Amino acid sequence: MFRRPFAALVAVGAGILAGQAARRWLDVVEVRGRSMAPALLPGDRLLVECRTYARRQPRPGEVVLAADPRAADRELIKRVASVDEAAQTALLLGDAPAESTDSLVFGPVPLASIRWRAAFRYWPPERAGRL
């Protein structure tokens, strides 16, 4: 009789710990603006994660969230165009140049300002998939 309640308690505890860990490493964001169209559209919701860049630098082609160099409390969703390892900077560009304020305006950004990697679009369902 003792084993079942104990096993249930262990399972609940493990679930709580897993949820807390996921909150540190995963987040969800909603796209606002058209700078990444047609790949990302206003209202798209993305799952982003921060563990990748603890192990390696961003790679060209990846979609990232970075601190806006003009307002540190804001984040930008952009694609990595290039990485300068020596200078520890990256060029971030929007997919829609006419709609985007990006590295063409504010220059390269420090790699440390790239906080999250956009991993998956989950909304809308018909556009869901890996990024």
- DSSP three-state, residue 24: helix
Q: What does pTM read for this prediction?
A: 0.80
67 and 6 Cβ atoms separated by less than 8 Å: no
Query: Rg of the chain over CA atoms, in angstroms?
Result: 18
Q: What is the pLDDT, as a whole number, of residue 26? A: 87
Q: What is the pLDDT, as a whole number, of residue 32? A: 94
Q: What is the pLDDT, as a whole number, of residue 22? A: 52
77 and 64 Cβ atoms separated by less than 8 Å: yes
Report whether CATH 1.10.10.10 matches the domain 27-130: no
* Local mean pLDDT, 10-residue blocks, the chain (131 residues): 50 48 75 96 95 91 95 92 96 96 95 94 94 89
Question: What are the residues facing 110 on neighbouring strands?
Answer: 89
DSSP classification of residue 23: H
70 and 3 Cβ atoms separated by less than 8 Å: no
Token pair 């520890």 in the structure block, residue: 88
119 and 49 Cβ atoms separated by less than 8 Å: yes
Q: What is the pLDDT, as a whole number, of residue 1? A: 47
